[in-house]
Amino acid sequence: MGSVYRVLALHCLVTAAGEVALWAEDSTLPARRPGRASKVVVAHPFAVPARTLAGLVAGVSDEVPVLLPSYPSGPVASPELVLDPLATRVAPRGQVRLTPWRVPVAKMSPAVFARHGVPRLGDVRTGASVRFLTTVVAFAEDLVDRGRVLPTIVSEEDGLVARWRPALSGTDSARYARLRDAVPPVLRAAQVEGLVGRRAEDVLQPALDAFVDSLARARLAGIRLGPVSATTTSASRALLVALTGDPLLEVAPDQAAQLADTLRTWRSAVEFDGPVRACFRLRAPEEDTDNTLDPTWTLELLLRAVDDPSVLVEADQVWRGDGGTVLRRWVSRPDELLLAELGRATRLFPDLDSCLHEHAPVGLSLDTEGAHRFLTAAPALDQAGFGVLLPSGWRPSSGVGLRLTTTSRGTAGTVSRNSMLGKGELVDYRWDLAVGDLTLTEQELTELAAAKVPLVRVRGRWVQVDQRGLAEGLAFLERARTGQMSVGEVLDLAGMPPDEDNLPIPVVGMSGSGWLADLLSGAIEAHLDPVTTPEGFTAELRPYQRRGVAWLAFLDSVGLGACLADDMGLGKTVQLLALEATSRAKEKKPPTLLVCPMSLVGNWQREAERFTPGLRVHVHHGADRLAGADLADALDGADLVLTTYAIAARDAPLLAILPWDRIVLDEAQNIKNSASRQSQAVRSLPARHRVALTGTPVENRLAELWSVMDFANPGLLGPLARFRARFAVPVERHGDEEAAARLRRITAPFVLRRVKTDPAIVDDLPDKLEMRQLCNLTAEQASLYRAVVDDMLVKVEEAEGVQRKGLVLATMTKLKQVCNHPAHFLGDGSRIAGRSGKLARLEETLEQVLAEGERALCFTQYTEFGAMLVPYLAARFDTEVLFLHGGTSRAQRDAMVSRFQSGSGPAIFVLSLKAGGTGLTLTEANHVIHLDRWWNPAVEDQATDRAFRIGQRKDVQVRKFVCIGTLEERIDKMIEAKRALSKLVVGSGESWLTELSDGELLELVALSAEAVGE
């Protein structure tokens, strides 16, 4: 066996000087320090050398002492460091204690870290400290975005400087406290003389301050200060200069002191760090005051503990002393604190000033306008650190909006069979006004217009009404309450803001009758007539698949793009091929261009041959692919053209001038980065209809959904910048449920997602779904494969008997190793990423498995291949990967199984076929992947049964990886033929292969031209 794959674990710490220092562990270096114990601080034995570290991350090279948990013989390896799973190690002995070690580091300022972060490298796992500091940067970005920063003046080595600092209060203070409690010990591991360690506060506060200052200055970079006005002092201008450029404050000491006092007063008005805060509870008028002209609202005063929000003490208890005993664990004089808090709150809600003139204020009576003023000030009070309790059921934003009701002719079931419909069809419409989710009647509209107050009770619920919006909405209804508009106009209204469609107020809802209403509600699939299995289609579609094809055909008929986002394993490929067979049975059309990852080209080609043998398929790929007139002639005789994302980007000018009936993107998450070359290329290709296939329409950010939807229906979600402002930022950063609901309303008509747990799906699925995953060889694999075959053919002609059998079996092993990975065959511990088609397919599969929160078993008959995969997959997905092989002790084996079955352990389990193929129960996994085929299918079935057995609560998906055009594919066909004929195994192991004649052997191992990927 060759050397193990190398994995680095990257960590960071914050030095006493406030710098961020990055360092790393190397899995291939010895875990013990050489020599005997020493009293001086020695070098960390498996820390990455300074020269190697400099090639990974930018920064100033240095060496710092770090306190780490250690055995007497060496440091304890971090959880992120993946060591050689096959290495024999001597268990460390002795007590674990904090010991100083010298580690090479790359130092950088927090400002540089905030701007550039840490590059994501395939063979580097980021430790908890790096991930934590990245979270702190995200917190700083959020504070700067919301303007929750204030200037301050501090003294540094160079003199007085102006800095931006976070202004923490309310929920931001709580977020800071959670971060402070979560500071990883390694982040504060830099040894300070005389100290065993550093407090979390001493690390987090300076880092957050530095991140905020750097990010705020980056936002203000390039701002030019205008001329000095009559009201602007030289000191104020110097402060502005220092806050936008060089931080050094060039003012006289007395002016600097005056500025610092002013800034401290400003900060005290918005920050609060005490253990108890004032709380304001607004009570709505009782139900029986509904008919009064001016109902009375009550604002109650309370004190609430910051650490325990359930502790609420009313003001009258504070004045009587009843609640003092509850609060005295935090504050000695609750009465004085309440008055001080009221004084602070009057800056934000001046109505409270009257309470300060009372001896023992307990609350405030407000009219409707006063209650509205408080509701308006409530967010500012919350941000300033005060507690705010609003009436039950109150919604802070109940703006007036338009609700559109449409009536289209025909039902979804009839429309799906009518290809004449499109965006130009006219539908009847009616506009109504709504407040929140309440559609207003004519009488309610009249009463609201007459009330002329911002707070009104509608159907027993208090809502806030924008009187200006109400007036503009009423004026709009007078002009265009009813009429007709095209389907295209209705769809545009779903996604456009008011100012872009001549609407005075937003559209807050759409409903109606007919197929268009079903489409807009996202319920069109349920009302479509399922398609019958098309003629010439060799598979039997399941009921949910027939509904999916009907949905695709319906959107095709009305000229709208679609995103089929079914769970992995539900048959997106079959549904798309059925759509092609259905649409092409009616009329001759230009070909469909299908773009997919390289690893799936062969899979699509084989599936098309299997399910739609009448479909003419052309593969546009490889160095000898057609171009110009030759390609145009070939497309005249093609129905489906397969190409890859890389070729589509490279040949975009050529593909753009060819006629396409439909463009399909498989694994459409490949265009999630809208700025990438391949994303822009495929979105620019013209076609009558567009379909995106993906099991993960959103992986990390909503901008990925924008890119997919902009391909399927260009312009639906508007420009990316506006999409970010309207949806991405509110939803991702602030959890805005209203913005998320608007986005769902816009995208629901065009996204069909069914998951394996849907009640309508469960009954349709088999208990076990088996599939072949066809993989291409890389050019390197193909070259090695040919070399092995050529070497065998020379030797096999001269060999006989046992020698010939041994040669054949050895060659079979070598070829299977080549199909797995070049590094597996060579055994040289070389780079893993980007060299194997089978590994690329494994990464794609596991990415989807992990995204869905599920678990996978990966079986291989080669222990050394599993040993290669474990550290690579751990680094690739930044997660622990279990590995069970023949050298695993019984205790270790039981511990692994227990962790995996607990449901909270690692989600990826690599097993050698012999060691893990029998005797285990691993029902927490519902994905089984056979990385290299065993010649005896019964052995594979036994391994699959580790997950597919009593106790399994989910349907099991079994994938068998086969390299196209190699002996793996030919043997796979032979195995399946034998299984289909007699349900008997081919033979024991691989021995039956040795009986093949030279001609049969050559036919078996010969490499097909289609085997090679790009």
Tokens representing residue 223 in the block: 């701002």
Tokens representing residue 515 in the block: 């197929």
Q: Which of 10, 183, 213 is nearest to 114 (CA)?
A: 213
Find tokens 């001896």 and name the residue. Answer: 359
pLDDT for 224 equals 65
Q: What angle do CA 849, 852, 857 make, to 5 degrees?
A: 30
Contact between residue 59 and residue 119 where contact means Cβ atoms under 8 Å apart: no
**Cα radius of gyration (the chain):** 34
Q: Which of 411, 905, 498, 970 is nearest to 726 (CA)?
A: 498
- C-alpha to C-alpha distance for 724 and 726, rounded to whole angstroms: 6
Max Cα distance, the chain (Å): 111
Helices (H), 156-282: 171-181, 200-220, 234-244, 253-270
Q: Which of 544, 602, 614 is nearest to 577 (CA)?
A: 614
Strand spans (E) along 227-324: 276-283, 297-305, 312-314
Find tokens 């559609």 and name the residue. Answer: 439
Long-range contacts of 451-455 (CB under 8 A, 24+ apart): 453/368, 453/369, 453/372, 454/368, 454/369, 454/372, 455/368, 455/371, 455/372, 455/375
pLDDT for 717 equals 84
pLDDT for 895 equals 87
Question: Which ranges in the chain are annotated with CATH 3.40.50.300?
Answer: 769-1011
Strand pairing category for 297-305 and 363-366? antiparallel
E strand or H helix that includes residue 687: none
Neighbours of 72 (CB within 10 A): 15
Long-range contacts of 756-759 (CB under 8 A, 24+ apart): 756/567, 756/569, 756/570, 756/954, 756/955, 757/954, 758/544
pLDDT for 95 equals 87
CATH classification number, 561-762, choose in 3.40.50.720, 3.50.50.100, 3.40.50.11540, 3.40.50.10810 = 3.40.50.10810
pTM: 0.68
Which one-letter DSSP state was computed for residue 822? H
Superfamily of domain 769-1011: P-loop containing nucleotide triphosphate hydrolases (3.40.50.300)
List, in sequence order, every residue forming a beta bridge with 304; answer none if it has no partner.
277, 312
Tokens representing residue 901 in the block: 């079955």
- C-alpha to C-alpha distance for 694 and 597, rounded to whole angstroms: 12
Tokens representing residue 943 in the block: 């391994």
Query: What one-letter code names the amino acid at 1002?
Result: L
Q: Write out the DSSP string of 367-427.
A: -HHHHHHHHHHHHHHHHTT-EEE--TT--S---EEEEEEEE-SS-HHHHTT-TT--TT-EE
Q: What angle do CA 450, 454, 458 make, to 5 degrees?
A: 70
b/e map 208-245, b = 16+ CB within 10 Å: bbbbbbbbbbeeeeeeeeeeeeeeeeebbbbbebbbbe
Q: Write out the DSSP string of 83-146.
A: --TT---PPP-S--EEEEEEEEEEEE-HHHHHHH-----TTEEE-HHHHHHHHHHHHHHHHHHT
Contact between residue 849 and residue 816 where contact means Cβ atoms under 8 Å apart: no
List, in sequence order, every residue forming a beta bridge with 25; answer none if it has no partner.
9, 47
E strand or H helix that includes residue 997: none
- C-alpha to C-alpha distance for 613 and 616, rounded to whole angstroms: 8
Strand pairing category for 297-305 and 562-564? unpaired
Q: What is the mean pLDDT of each run of 10 residues along the chain (1014 residues)?
A: 71 84 88 68 90 84 89 87 74 82 90 79 83 92 88 84 85 83 86 65 88 88 58 73 85 82 73 77 75 76 80 87 69 83 88 90 91 88 84 66 78 44 74 80 79 75 77 84 82 55 72 74 72 86 90 88 86 93 88 89 87 93 88 91 94 94 93 89 94 82 89 87 85 77 81 79 74 90 91 80 83 92 89 90 92 92 92 89 88 87 90 83 92 80 83 86 90 68 41 66 75 64
CA 502, 504, 509, 513 torsion: positive or negative? negative
List, in sequence order, every residue forming a beta bridge with 961; answer none if it has no partner.
773
Question: Which ranges in the chain are annotated with CATH 3.40.50.10810?
Answer: 561-762
Q: Which of 879, 896, 886 is nearest to 843 (CA)?
A: 879
